Amino acid sequence: MHFEDSDFSKKLNYNKVELNFGTYYLLDDFFIMEVNEGEHFNWDKLNTLLDSLRDYYGNHKTLAYIANRVNSYSIDPVLWSYFDKDDSILIAASIVSYRDSSFMNANIEKQMASIPLKRAHSLGEAINWVQQLKEFN
């Protein structure tokens, strides 16, 4: 389910940003990304996203990330290694998978990630998990 079609979009305050490869929604302590159908999410797109996040939140904000995989696209799983660095703004992530193949890919990505990464079957499960993170409470 797309974020804007969910009840969460009616309950939570957010700002919507559209990039050429997807749309993301900025909330207080996390953001939700929906990559466009058929895209390949690579280093260039990650850097564009991170620059945009830093422009909005500043350089010292820590965030959780929800990948709402409503569309079929590919991602370089090595990108998760970036968040090993001290300058990373991401402290946790959740991948919402609506298809078995996407859930299997999330298993591989979880192995590559150095930050906590939860695999979820629904947007609600991911949002609830992020909101319960001790870093935000």
* Domain range list for the chain: 3-136
User: Per-residue pLDDT for 116 more than 80?
Assistant: yes
Q: Average pLDDT for residues 6-33, to the nearest whole number?
A: 97
Longest CA span, the chain: 37
pLDDT band of 111, cuts 50, 70, 90: confident
At 12 the pLDDT is 97
Q: Which CATH number fits domain 3-136: 3.30.70, 3.30.750, 3.40.50, 3.30.379?
A: 3.30.750
Q: What is the pLDDT of residues 22-34, one digit of tens each?
A: 999 999 999 999 9
Q: What is the pLDDT of residues 43-101, one digit of tens each?
A: 999 999 999 999 999 988 999 999 999 999 999 888 887 775 555 788 999 999 998 88
CA distance 65 to 29: 9
Most confident range (mean pLDDT) of 40-44, 84-88, 105-109 is: 40-44
Angle CA 1–74–49, to nearest 5: 75
Look up the pTM and report it.
Answer: 0.92
Closest C-alpha to 119, from 73, 83, 68, 60: 68
All residues at 6 or more sequence positions from 10 whose CB lies less than 8 Å from its CB, including other chains: none
Give per-residue burial for 2-39: e unless 16+ CB within 10 Å, then b: ebeebebbeebebeebeeebbbbbbbebbbbbbbeeeb
User: Per-residue pLDDT for 128 more than 80?
Assistant: yes
Task: Count Cβ atoms within 10 A of the Cβ of residue 106 and give its class: 0-12 exposed, 13-18 middle, 19 or more buried.
Answer: buried
At 113 the pLDDT is 84
At 115 the pLDDT is 86
